[in-house]
Chains A and B, each alone.
Chain A
C-alpha cells in the first residue's frame, strides 16, 4: 500500500520528465481533491458539533437573544440523566430499534435468499419490493395515519377481515399497547428492502466454487447453509444492521408524522423529544446537552459494533 505504482514509475523516471508527467505534484492534487470535502464537513458538521458542546454547558436560549448567557457547568447533563421521563423516551427508542431491526433482518434476509434462487422475473420483483424505501418517510408516516384509521383505514379493515373482528374495535395509533407496534410495522414495511438489497449483494458475492467444493464433500444443503451461506453473508448483514441502527436511533420524520409521539408519550422517541426541547421549548443549552448524550451513545455503540464487524470480516 505504501509504495504505489505511480511512485515506482516516478522513481524510475528522470525528475524533469516526472514533473511534466504529473503536472501538479500528487500531494497538491490530493489536497485539492480532498480539501473541499473536509472543509464542508468542518463547516457544517464539526464546527456545529463543537458549538453544541459549548452550548451544552450554558443556559442559552435561541429565542431569547437578549438574555444573558450563563455558564452552568454540568447542570444540563445532570438534569437529563436524572429525568425519569427521558428514560422512558430511551426505552421507547430501544423498543423501536430492537424490533425494527429484528423484523427487517429476518424478512430482508429471507427475501434476499429467495430472490437469489434466480427464478424468472426476479429482477422485476426486486425492483417492485424496493419501491417503499424511495418514498419520503414524512409522507409515509402521514399517509399511514390514514391507513390506520379505525373505521375508514384499509389496515384495520384488512386485519379485521382476517381475524373476524370489527374494524373499529382496535386503534393502532391511539392505543397504548398497539402504538409501539404501529410504528414498527411501518418502518419494517419501508426499510426491509434496504436490508434485503445488502443481503442480496452478500449472497451474490459468494463464489460458486465454494458450494461446489462442499458438494464434493457431501455436505448437506442444510449444513451448507449454516457453514457457508450464513457466515459469508454475516458481514453484509451486520453492515445493514449498523446502517439501520444508526438511522433508527435518529428516527424522527416517520414517527413524528405517524403518532406525534402519542398517545401520551408512549412512542415519543429520543429524537422527537429532542426536537420538542430544542425547537418548541427553545431550551437550547439543555437540548444541546441532550444532543451530545445521544451522539455519544450512537457513536459509542457504533464503534464497539464496528470493531465486532471487523473481527467477523477477518475470519
Chain B
C-alpha cells in the first residue's frame, strides 16, 4: 500500500466540496431552525410581518402546548392572583389555566407505540432473518419477495379492512392494535436489512460454538446476536423513524386513548387560528427523542444502509 492514494482528493477539492455541502446544510436547516425559534416566540411575534428574526424569547408556546386555558372575567382574575410563572404568562391575555392539554398523553402514546413496535419488529425480524440466512427454507426466495412486497401497499388500501377487522376484534384505538400494525409494516424492512447483516457474519463462529456443545439457540443467542449489534441498531433507527412519525393509520384507527402525537400536533389551535408557537413547540419536543436516538447511534446508520441495502 503506497502512502499516497490516488483517490485522496486534493486540498482544493475538499475545500470546494466542504463549502457546497455546508451551504446546502445551512439552507436545509432554515425551516428547522424556524420551527425551533417559533416555539419560543409569542403568538404576535410568530405572525408578524415581515417575519421576525430577532425576538424576545418566551415560553408561551410551551405553556400553551401543555395546558388548556379559558377566558375569565376581570372580577375573577382580580380575586385570584396568579401563583406560578406559567400562570402569569397566561394572564397577559385575561385567561386562566383550566387543566393540562392532551399533548402529554399523546406523547406518551407515541413512546409506547413507537418503541413497542420497534422492539417487536426487531425481535421478530432478527429471528426471521437468522432463519432465512442460515437454514434451508422451502420457497425461500418467494417468501422473501412476499415479505418485501407487503410494503408496496398504500396504507389507505389496507386501512379499510384493517379498520373493519379491528372494529370486530376491539383493537380499534388500542395500543396493542397500533403496535401490531406498525410491526407488520416495519417487519419487511427489518427482515431484509437484518438478513444482510447476518449473512455477513461468518458461519465458522457458530460452527465452532456448536462443536463446543452449544445448542442452536445458545449459538444464536451468544454468538450471532452480539455480532449483529450494528445491524440491529441501524434497523431499529429506521423502524423507529417510521413508527414514531406515522400519520395515516394513526388518524384513521385511533381517536381517544391510543392516538399518537403526529395527528394531534396539527390540530393545536389557539385564539383565532392555529397556535403556531405551540405547534412549533410540540414539533420540537417531538423531534428530540428520535434525533437523540439517531445522533447517538449515527455511526451505525450509514453502515446499516451499506450492508442492508444492496446485497446480492
| B49 with A151: CB separation less than 8 A | yes
User: Distance (Å) between the CB of B249 and the closest chain A CB?
Assistant: 10
- Any chain B CB within 8 A of the CB of A261? no
Q: Does A292 contact B (CB under 8 A)?
A: yes
Q: Is the CB of A200 within 8 A of B135?
A: no
A9 touches B211 (CB 8 A): yes
Contact with A41, one of B147, B203, B261, B302 (Cβ below 8 angstroms): B147
- Shortest B197–chain A CB gap in Å is 14
Chain A residue numbers with a CB within 8 Å of B274 are 146
Residues in A neighbouring B38, C-beta threshold 8 A: 146
CB distance from B118 to the nearest CB of A (A): 14
Contact B154 A125 (CB under 8 A): no
Which residues in A have their C-beta under 8 angstroms from that of B165? 47-48, 51
> Would you call A30 and B135 a contact (CB within 8 A)?
yes
Give which listed residue, B14, B25, B247, contacts A129 with CB less than 8 A.
B25
Is residue A71 contacting chain B, with contact meaning CB distance below 8 A?
A: no
Contact A198 B309 (CB under 8 A): yes
B136 contacts A2, C-beta separation under 8 Å: yes
By secondary structure, the A interface counts as helix
Select from chain B the residue with minimum beta-carbon distance to A54.
B161
Q: Tell which of A77-85, A172-180, A247-255 binds the partner.
A: A247-255
Q: Residue B58 at the A interface, CB < 8 A?
A: no
In B32-80, the 8 Å CB interface with A consists of: 32, 34-35, 38, 47-51
Q: Evaluate contact between B124 and A274: CB separation under 8 angstroms.
A: no
For window 103-138 of A, CB contacts with B under 8 Å fall at 107, 111, 114-115, 117-123, 125-138
Q: Is the CB of A135 within 8 A of B287?
A: yes
Check B271 for interface membership: any CB of A closer than 8 A.
no
Which chain A residue shows the least CB distance to B126? A33
Interface residues in A31-65 by Cβ distance below 8 A to B read 31-34, 36-38, 40-41, 43-49, 51-52, 55, 62
| B127 at interface, CB cutoff 8 A | yes
Interface residue range, chain B: 35 or more
B128 contacts the other chain (CB 8 A): yes
Assess A62 versus B207: contact at CB under 8 Å? Given A2-B136, A132-B32, A291-B157.
no
Closest to A114 in B: B17
Q: Interface residues of B: mostly helix, strand, loop or mixed?
A: helix
A23 and chain B: residue at smallest CB distance: B215
B135/A313 in contact, CB under 8 A: no
Contact with A along B124-161 (1 / 0, CB 8 A): 11011011101111000001001101111111111111
The answer to whether A137 and B9 touch across the interface, beta carbons within 8 angstroms, is: no
B124 engages A40 (CB within 8 Å): yes
In the complex, what residues of B have CB within 8 A of residue A205's CB?
306, 310
- Asked whether, in the complex, the Cβ of A30 is within 8 Å of the Cβ of B131, the reply is yes
Residues A120 and B14 in contact in the complex (CB < 8 Å), given A30-B135, A130-B294: yes
Q: Which residues of B contact A288 (CB under 8 A)?
A: 160-161
The distance from the CB of A139 to the nearest CB of chain B, in whole angstroms, is 5
Q: Which of B94-102, B179-187, B225-233 contacts A (4 or more CB under 8 A)?
A: B179-187
Contacts of A91 in B (CB 8 A): none
Whether the pair B25, A117 counts as a contact (CB closer than 8 A) is no
State the CA gap A313–B24 with chains docked (Å). Answer: 31
Name the B residues within 8 Å of A192 (CB-CB): 28
- Write the nearest CB–CB distance from A161 to chain B, whole angstroms: 9
Chain B residues, CB < 8 A from A34: 127-128, 131-132, 137, 143
A284 touches B131 (CB 8 A): no
* Any A CB within 8 A of the CB of B111: no
Specify the chain B residue showing the minimal Cβ separation from A247: B151
The answer to whether residues A139 and B262 also contact, given A23-B217, A36-B124, A197-B305 and a CB cut-off of 8 A, is: yes
Q: When A and B form their complex, which 7 residue pairs have the shortest distance between CB atoms, in order from nearest?
A: A291-B157, A23-B215, A119-B18, A48-B161, A136-B245, A253-B247, A117-B17
Q: Can you name 15 A-B residue pairings with CB atoms under 8 Å?
A: A9-B207, A36-B128, A44-B162, A118-B9, A123-B298, A129-B28, A132-B28, A132-B32, A142-B279, A143-B279, A158-B30, A189-B28, A204-B302, A271-B156, A291-B158
Query: Other CB < 8 Å A-B pairs besides A22-B215, A40-B180, A136-B245, 4 of them?
Result: A129-B25, A142-B279, A212-B6, A250-B154
Residues of A near any B CB (own CB < 8 A): 2, 4-6, 9, 20-24, 26-27, 29-34, 36-38, 40-41, 43-49, 51-52, 55, 62, 107, 111, 114-115, 117-123, 125-139, 141-144, 146-147, 151-154, 157-158, 167, 189, 192-193, 197-198, 200-202, 204-205, 208, 211-212, 215, 235-236, 239, 246, 249-250, 252-253, 257, 270-271, 274-275, 278-279, 284, 287-288, 291-292, 294-295, 298-299, 302, 313
